[in-house]
Amino acid sequence: MDSFSVDHDILGEGMYLSKVHEGNNFFTWDLRFVRPNTKLLDPAAVHTIEHILAVHMRKNLIGKEEVVYFGPMGCLTGFYAVTRNIDKDKVQELLVEAVALALVENKVPFGTTKECGSADFHNLELAKEYLAGYLKVLKDWKGENRFNYPSAKKGK
């Protein structure tokens, strides 16, 4: 995936198209919440975001067939999403809606001991802080090449 070959020293918060899969109908998204190597997302808040956004993206907005995967990055700087058969611009629009819905959650979806293997390992308040910050990033994410990873400037 391109996310492993991108220069993480210049990568910032954003929404990057990490890979277009065979047939051009599957897309892997790098949803970067924080700048790499500067800070980490709290693991309990990441777990909560995974629950909330997976529900809103699959159930309420985009659909089970279009969202193939949503989960955290091991480096704790963001998430990966895999979508299919949906326009790139529409993914951004629906992600904005999903994050806005997440901000009004008052409980963690599927967060009980019957539904979750680590039901006590959530932080809804901090998850909402991260989501509010990322919503600002998404709303300002504009431009023709906005989904491309940044490239190092010559002479650096």
The b-or-e profile of 124-149 (16+ CB within 10 A means b, else e) is bebbbebbeebbebbeebeeeeebeb
List the alpha helices (DSSP H) in 103-142: 124-139
Instruction: Let me know if residue 14 belongs to a domain.
Output: yes
Range name among 3-17, 48-62, 96-110 with the lowest pLDDT average: 48-62
Is 156 among the domain residues?
no
Q: In sequence order, what are the beta bridge partners of 83?
A: 27, 67
User: Is 149 a domain residue?
Assistant: no
Residue 39 lies in a domain: yes
Which has the minimum average pLDDT: 15-19, 20-24, 83-87?
20-24
54 located within any domain: yes
Domain of 18, CATH number, reads 3.30.1360.80
DSSP state of 89: H
Longest dimension (CA), the chain: 56
Q: What is the pTM of this model?
A: 0.90
78 inside domain? yes
Q: What is the pLDDT of residue 118?
A: 97
Domain containing residue 108 = 2-138
* Region 115-138 average pLDDT: 97
Whether residue 155 has pLDDT greater than 50:
no
- Give domain status of residue 119, yes or no: yes
On whether residue 153 sits in a domain, the answer given is no
Q: How many domains does the chain have?
A: 1
Q: Which helix (H) or strand (E) is 118 found in, with range?
A: none
Alpha carbons 64 and 72: distance in angstroms, whole number: 18
